[in-house]
Structure 1
Amino acid sequence: MSITAQLHDSVKLQGGAALVNGFGLEIRTHTPSRALLQNGHELEVYDLYDVLAGERAPTAVFPLPWPGWDRGVHSVSPDGTFAVFSGQRAVRAVGPGGEPLWEYRHGCWGPVLDHTHTGDEQEVCYGSEHGSCRVSDDGRFVWAHVVPAPGEQDWLECWVVLDARDGREVARLPLDSAASGSHHISHPDGLHMGLCIGMGQDGILLHWARWDGEKLTGWDLNDTLDRILMDVHPGHPGFLTVEHYGTDLRLHALDGTVLAEGEPESSDDEDPPCWDYGCGFVDADTVIASTVDSDDDPDWARHWLLDARTLRTRGAITYPTGRVDSYVCPLGDGTWLTYDDASGTLDRWTEATS
């Protein structure tokens, strides 16, 4: 079955690829979706829907604390008054003028053991490894994936909860991981946080935790290794993962129980396609996924809509503009984004009603 897409908005946006194939989009349940775009030595913050409507001025601009550091996944507070940056040796909160609000020092993400530092905070050590951080949806806490400070090397890495007012550590969980990178996803209930840790050829680790203000409770879902945490939705009871190599999508309950599983359809049973990393909830009833990377047949559809309860394929998407080779990024409001690298155009789509 073919499903026709309808163009909702379209805008030229330099760097917009980070919203579709990266971590430049910050979606929260009770605040507008934000685009976090790096422009030179600054992080520009935009209301996504204002950008799609043609607004060019950012709502806030935060100077990067370490201009030479181009890794890490950063976060902005729900009210937009401060940003938190995940650095190579620290997590730092800054105000719009760049003034440091606080800093939480940790060990170095550089992969060379026991290497020395010059003392220059702008020094960037060898390696592409990085952590991530996320401001909680109520703005009170910062969750961060870090390397323990020197002298705290009883474990490789840890997950900390920081007081967003002053960066004070209020809780931590030790992690048995050796990350190449990570990202966080806030659960819509405002209590739980998800952490996905990529370890390159060593696989993927997936953790959930809950901080109730007094106790941090965490659990991992790594009995079935190599599942990437992709998305959650306030109108859906589960969360979505994709297998590391794209063989299937799964819906899980918060305890990890598998609720549904879906494999990509194929025009060639001998060389079936795999799902890409870009997938998620279009809305509570619909999941979007793609086979851009693995499907080389130009006549075979690239993007698919699936039932969000069963993960059965509803149909392949047909675009009125012709073939769309972009990854997809669903917004949870009934629409999804694609980005054309050649033209620098960010498009927002919805399923056509007629």
Structure 2
Amino acid sequence: MSITAQLRDSVRLPGGRALVNGFALESRRDDPYRALLRNGHELEVYDLRELFAGERAPEAVFPLPWPRWDQGVHSVSPDGTFAVFSGQRSVRATGTDGKTLWEYRHNCWGPELGHPHTGDEQEVCRGSEHGSCRISDDGRLVWAHVVAEPEPGDWQERWVVLDARDGRELAWLPLDSAAAGSNHLSHPDGVHMGLCIGMGQDGILLHWARWDGEKLTSWDLNEDLDRILTDVHPGHPGFLTVEHYGADLRLHALDGTVVAEREPPEPAEGEDEDEAYWDYGCGFVDADTVIASTADSDRYPERARHWLLDAHTLRIRGVVTYPTGPVDGDVRPLGDGTWLTYDDKSETLNRWAQAAPGTR
């Protein structure tokens, strides 16, 4: 079955690709439209609704504390007054004036154990490994994935919980990981935080945790080691994952129980059976609908197809057709009934919704 999409908004946005297949879209339970885009030595914060309405100026701009460090996943407070940056050797909170509010030092993400530093805080060590951080939806906590050295020459990755006011460490968990990178996803219940750690060919680690003010409780879902945390939605108590190599999509309860599972649809005409797999771009269009893409959108963007699925059973409803012609690459849902795509040729960010029946 074919399902027609309707174009809701469109804006030219250089660098907007990171909103669709990166971590520049920092959606929260009350605001799925916040974009964090790096522009030179600055992090620009946009409200996508205002951007689509023609307001081109960012809501806030934060100078990058380490302009030459281009890794890490950063976060901005719900009220937009401060940002927290995941650096190579520290987590740092700054105001819009660039002044440091606090800093939490940790060991270097550089891959060589015990390698020296020159003392220049702008030094970037070899390697692209990085952590991530996330400010909680109430603005009170900072969750961060960092590196520690419990003993000389030892290496341990940790998940730390910091007080957002002063960077004071409240709790931490040891992680059995060797990360290439990571990202956080806050649950819309305002309590739970998810952490997805990519380890390259060694797989994926997935953790959930909560901090009640006194105790840090966590659990992992790593029997498989290969599930990527993709999305959550206020209409669902759990979360959505995709298998590392695209073998299936799964809807989980928060404790990890699999509620529904779906293998990829049959390959398109001219594609091999081995090319039938889910891509990383998937999530909740709304409480009842999931959108997911097939084919490798990075290597073969022209083969990408977008599918709408039932959000409770993952039954495939149909493939999306676009009135403008085929849409290449990834898709990023906003949870409010719409989703984003990006056109690299025109550097245009587009927002779509399912067209009403009978609409062409």
275, 278, 294: which one pairs with 1:275? 278
Displacement of 1:292 after TM fit? 3.8
In structure 1, distance between residues paired with 2:7 and 2:150: 52
In structure 2, distance between residues paired with 1:278 and 1:32: 16
Indicate the residue corresponding to 1:158 in structure 2: 158
Deviations 1:59-116 (A, max 9, x none): 1000000000000000000000000000000000000010100000000000111111
SS in 2 for 1:19: helix
In structure 1, distance between residues paired with 2:130 and 2:31: 27
TM-score scaled by length of structure 1? 0.96
SS in 2 for 1:209: strand
In structure 2, distance between residues paired with 1:3 and 1:301: 15
Indicate the residue corresponding to 1:173 in structure 2: 173
Indicate the residue corresponding to 1:215 in structure 2: 215
Deviations 1:268-298 (A, max 9, x none): 6744511111110000100000114179797
Name which of structure 1's ranges 257-266 and 3-12 shifts more when overlaid on structure 2: 257-266
| Structure 1 residues 78 and 175, CA gap change in structure 2 (3 angstroms) | same
| Structure 1 residues 188 and 180, CA gap change in structure 2 (3 angstroms) | same
Deviations 1:128-169 (A, max 9, x none): 000000000000000000001564876620000000000000
Q: Unpaired segments of 5 or more residues in structure 2?
A: none
Aligned length: 353
Indicate the residue corresponding to 1:76 in structure 2: 76
Displaced runs of 4+ in structure 1, greater than 6 A?
Answer: 294-298
Letter in 2 for 1:281: F
Q: Unpaired segments of 5 or more residues in structure 1?
A: none
2:309 is equivalent to residue 306 of structure 1: yes
Deviations 1:232-286 (A, max 9, x none): 0001122000000011000011111000001111146744511111110000100
Query: Cα RMSD between the aligned structures?
Result: 1.7
Contact 2:304 2:328 in 1 (8 A): no
SS in 1 for 2:29: coil
| Structure 1 residues 99 and 297, CA gap change in structure 2 (3 angstroms) | closer
Letter in 2 for 1:323: P
Displacement of 1:183 after TM fit? 0.2
Contact 1:301 1:318 in 2 (8 A): no
Deviations 1:173-225 (A, max 9, x none): 00010000000000011110000000001000000001011100011100121
2:325 is equivalent to residue 322 of structure 1: yes
Structure 2 matches for 1:177-256, cutoff 5 A?
177-256=177-256
SS in 2 for 1:115: coil
SS in 1 for 2:265: coil
Indicate the residue corresponding to 2:96 in structure 1: 96
Q: Could you tell me the percent identity over the aligned residues?
A: 78
Structure 2 matches for 1:333-348, cutoff 5 A?
333-348=336-351
Displacement of 1:32 after TM fit? 5.3
Contact 1:105 1:149 in 2 (8 A): no
SS in 1 for 2:67: coil
